[in-house]
Amino acid sequence: MRNPDFPVDASVSSAERGDPSALRLVLSDDWILESQDETHVTVANTATAARMKLSTAAYQFLKAFAKPRRLDEVVSPGAMAGARAQVGKLLEKQLLLDADAPRADRALRLRTTVPYRFCNAPAYTAASDFVVLGVPYDLAGTVDCRGAPTAIRQKSLDYLYRMRITDGRPNGWFDANRETWILRGATLADAGDVYVEYGEDQSELFGRISSALEELGEGAVPVVLGGDSSVTYAVAAALRRRGPLTVVQLSAEPVTAPASASEVFGTDEVAARLLQLEGIERFVSLGAPTTSSASLGDRVMLYDVPTLRRAPLDTLACDWGGKAAVHLSIDLGVTKPEYLRTDEHGASAGLSQSELRSIITALGRRHRLVGIDLVGLDTRSGFAHLSAAVACDLALTAMDASRGHDGAKR
Amino acid sequence: MEWRNEATTSSGDDTSQSLFGWPRAEEGSPRARIEVIGVPSDCGNGGASGARFGPEAIRRASQSFRLEVAGVDRGDVEGVHGHDWAEVLVSAQHEIERIVEGDAIPIVLGGDHSISYAAVAALRRHPTLNIVWFDAHTDFCAWSGGRWHDHKQVLRRIAGLGHVGRILQIGHRGITYFDESARSNKMTVMSANAARSAPLESVLEPLPEGEPVYISVDVDAIDPRLAPGTGHPVPGGVSGELIEQMASLIASRRRVVGLDVMEVNPLLDHRDTTSALAARMLAAVAPHLAPFPPSE
């Protein structure tokens, strides 16, 4: 089995291609003509999302490479210098390719643009405190959640990311429940979705998730919108390379089945698979309605709802040390009506919204939240719109918790 | 614009059901102490469509209740779908004014929450009208001052009406752009957390005795796990039972001159639980409306 957090190969840079006039050049199979007017066209590579605006003359030049040709077969010697520069850009965008080089057997595209950005934050271009990344993948389980990143982002437009008029810094939001400002000054960007090619090997996608997170840098807290809970595995596998990592999952249905022998694993194996990775210190599951009989060793800790209600989380968290680096995964299955319905005493089988928020806040006080994911939103459920609202609320709560109890930036 | 009297139709389908099985009003027929009007509109909700089916769903859900208190159902305001929103607001206001002029107490079934403006405006005969606004949101977004508004701006516009006195907003919660509790000197905000923990009688404190009250219930005040059928759910709401108790207490201790239930969206509901909660709340409050004369 291929290492699932092995980075995808970066595309070859133009500098490595050498002098383009020595190559036989050909148009990429993935190019499209996106738009055209009287003077210009826009062409794009659908595999990489690269775009170029070209003059009509440059477009005619590009089309000359429909079949493999050398540059001197297309332009006169006097125009060669200008043509070399143009070809360099087209090679850079992978609209033109070296016809004799081995072809990539898969798309090199890491991320795709999305119709809505989380909270309408700017598209990711530079370092920010939080970077949102969607992973619309749901082939490891039975829940239909590939549309969840879009559903959550669309709902997040109720929580627009705004700047203060006075200083141009992020305004944050007002948490009416706690009557306090959150995320003031915290910068947020949306890096779109990881490109998912349905049918490819699972490990290929997980490698791409790792590469995307690496590309976004270590300075930001990633906020990953799944996808099913196998996405948690891919994200934690990438984050553990930054240091020892505890994975905490808020879930009504702990993913603690033993690891199977299969290369492809299901959502219920996430804990067992994670603990096979070096650098994952423990897996903590919070919020099952009743005690699980699962036994995966002393590095898996399960706290069910009655236990959490008896003992404050600050006490429980002592069991696994202070200031651990924590990746927090929120399985949105916790929003299922059967877990939230209350009995005659007003108690729900699962954690209430208020309890979920309290636990997340307490985690942030005691530990360092270095990554956040939200997985398992069932878009076919009649409650999908509610789950998306809960997801936005908990995502912002978790982001605030990652800044520590005093709201200071880490 | 005319009354649409479903009782004159013979379709026999659910749309012909009246609230609580009350008689349908014929033009010129005797008036009742409580009169129902539906405004099946989505015009003020830019985010989610479906509240226009709210009046029909609430009436259907109300069939399991039979009340001692007398009322009539005047059907729905006509022309909602064939007119601009500003015209619909004016028409709804006129229809509600006809109810008020007959010394009846209007129960308005929405529809999106922006409609409540028409009801409050129609009650301008009261020199000081206090408002109780059950809602997850404060509905105090900026309003440019035109002829229409949306459901996020409606309370700001209502607060600007000359006859509106105090406003008690109950159920506010969630993550917002600013501290919405400080948007108006007229407004007291009781958050969802505060509503759960405060003594029930505390809802009476901002409402001076002797002054009339209008109660508006946006079902999104209720926790969405209990009332999922609404367009802008916010996690962490109060129970439907608490709203029933609060509204009933207010109606029994203060002179309530109008009541509405808004933002029931059957397209987003689960097994009609939200419309059932709306009907149940109306059934709990309606008997408390009758003892007080609707006007002085």
Domains, chain A: 14-98 (3.90.930), 111-401 (3.40.800.10)
| Three-state SS at A264 | coil
Touching check for A182 and chain B: CB below 8 Å? yes
Question: Residue B78: phi, psi to the nearest 5?
Answer: -85, 165
Touching check for B270 and chain A: CB below 8 Å? yes
The reply to whether residue A386 touches residue B179, judged by beta carbons under 8 angstroms, is no
Q: Enter the DSSP assignment of A348.
A: B
Touching check for B240 and chain A: CB below 8 Å? no
From the list B175, B225, B268, the residue facing A385 with the nearest CB is B268
The reply to whether residue B236 touches residue A171, judged by beta carbons under 8 angstroms, is no
Whole-number Å distance between alpha carbons of A151 and B143: 28
Whether B296 maps to a domain, the answer reads: no
Whole-number Å distance between alpha carbons of A190 and A113: 9
Q: Find out whether B19 and B57 touch, Cβ atoms under 8 Å.
A: no
From chain A, pick out residues whose CB is under 8 angstroms from the CB of B233: 385-386, 389
Give whole-number Cα distances, A260 to A207, A281, B31, in Å.
Answer: 20, 21, 73
Q: Which of B169, B177, B222, B225 to substitute to test the interface with A, most A CBs within 10 Å?
A: B225
Mean pLDDT across chain A: 87
> How do the pLDDT tens digits run along chain B, 296 residues long?
444 434 333 333 444 689 999 998 876 667 788 999 999 998 888 778 899 999 999 999 999 999 989 899 999 998 888 788 888 999 999 999 999 999 999 999 999 999 999 999 999 999 999 999 999 999 988 888 877 888 888 999 999 999 999 999 999 999 988 887 777 889 999 999 999 999 999 999 999 999 999 999 999 999 998 899 999 999 989 999 999 999 999 999 999 999 999 999 999 998 999 999 999 999 999 999 876 655 54
The reply to whether residue B233 touches residue A340, judged by beta carbons under 8 angstroms, is no
Query: Residue A365 corresponds to which tokens in the numbers above?
Result: 């006080």
From chain B, pick out residues whose CB is under 8 angstroms from the CB of A384: none
Highest mean pLDDT among A22-31, A107-116, A187-196, A347-356: A187-196
Provide the pLDDT for residue A108. Answer: 66
The reply to whether residue B191 touches residue A341, judged by beta carbons under 8 angstroms, is no
pLDDT at A339 over 70: yes
Give whole-number Cα distances, A396 to A32, A186, B54, B132, B184, in Å.
Answer: 39, 11, 32, 30, 27
Beta bridge partners of B215: B132, B259
At residue A410 the predicted structure's pLDDT band, cuts being 50, 70 and 90, is very low
Q: Find out whether B220 and B76 touch, Cβ atoms under 8 Å.
A: no
Touching check for A120 and chain B: CB below 8 Å? no
Q: Which has more pLDDT, A218 or A58?
A: A58
At A341-389, the pLDDT tens digits run: 777 777 888 898 889 999 999 999 889 999 999 999 999 998 898 999 9
The reply to whether residue A174 touches residue B179, judged by beta carbons under 8 angstroms, is yes
Whole-number Å distance between alpha carbons of A237 and B121: 60
C-alpha distance from B23 to closest chain A C-alpha (Å): 35
Contacts 24+ apart (CB under 8 A), A305-312: A305/A349, A305/A350, A305/A351, A308/A351, A308/A355, A308/A359, A309/A355, A312/A362
Provide the pLDDT for residue A294. Answer: 60
Give the domain range for residue B121: 6-289
Tell me what the mean pLDDT of segment A88-93 comes to: 91
Provide the pLDDT for residue A295. Answer: 65
Chains A, B: CB pairs < 8 Å:
72
Nearest CA in chain B to A384: B268
From chain B, pick out residues whose CB is under 8 angstroms from the CB of A175: 175
Whether B295 maps to a domain, the answer reads: no
From chain A, pick out residues whose CB is under 8 angstroms from the CB of B225: 335, 337, 340-341, 386
Lowest mean pLDDT among A100-104, A325-329, B207-211: A100-104
The reply to whether residue A353 touches residue B179, judged by beta carbons under 8 angstroms, is no
Tell me what the mean pLDDT of segment A205-220 comes to: 93
Provide the pLDDT for residue A265. Answer: 83
Whether B172 maps to a domain, the answer reads: yes
Q: Which has more pLDDT, A258 or A154?
A: A154
Whether B21 maps to a domain, the answer reads: yes
Q: Find out whether A369 and A323 touch, Cβ atoms under 8 Å.
A: no
Query: Residue B3 corresponds to which tokens in the numbers above?
Result: 């009354």
* CATH code for position B120: 3.40.800.10
Tell me what the mean pLDDT of segment A271-281 comes to: 94
Task: Order the strands of the A173-175 sheet from edge to edge.
Answer: A180-182, A173-175, B175-176
Tell me what the mean pLDDT of segment A255-272 comes to: 86
Nearest CA in chain A to B138: A176
Tell me what the mean pLDDT of segment A140-153 comes to: 94
Domain count, chain B: 1
Q: Enter the DSSP assignment of B279.
A: H
Whether B113 maps to a domain, the answer reads: yes
At residue A7 the predicted structure's pLDDT band, cuts being 50, 70 and 90, is very low
Which ipTM did the prediction report?
A: 0.80
Whole-number Å distance between alpha carbons of A193 and A145: 14
Q: Enter the DSSP assignment of B47.
A: S
Whole-number Å distance between alpha carbons of B164 and B150: 19
C-alpha distance from A375 to closest chain B C-alpha (Å): 18
On the CB side of B195, how many CA atoms lie within 13 Å of its CA? 32
pLDDT at A9 over 70: no
Provide the pLDDT for residue B27. Answer: 63
Whether B160 maps to a domain, the answer reads: yes
Task: Order the strands of the A24-27 sheet from edge to edge.
Answer: A69-70, A24-27, A96-98
At residue A30 the predicted structure's pLDDT band, cuts being 50, 70 and 90, is confident
Provide the pLDDT for residue A107. Answer: 53
Whether B1 maps to a domain, the answer reads: no
Q: What interhelical angle do A384-401 and A353-366 show, nearest 10?
A: 20
Touching check for B233 and chain A: CB below 8 Å? yes
How many residues can be counted in chain A?
A: 410
The reply to whether residue B191 touches residue A179, judged by beta carbons under 8 angstroms, is yes
pLDDT at A284 over 50: yes
**Residue matched to tokens 């300075």:** A219
Whether B294 maps to a domain, the answer reads: no
Whole-number Å distance between alpha carbons of A320 and A15: 49
Beta bridge partners of B261: B109, B217
The reply to whether residue B181 touches residue A176, judged by beta carbons under 8 angstroms, is yes
The reply to whether residue B233 touches residue A389, judged by beta carbons under 8 angstroms, is yes
The reply to whether residue B224 touches residue A182, judged by beta carbons under 8 angstroms, is no
Q: Which has more pLDDT, A5 or A339?
A: A339
At A46-69, the pLDDT tens digits run: 877 788 999 999 999 999 999 999
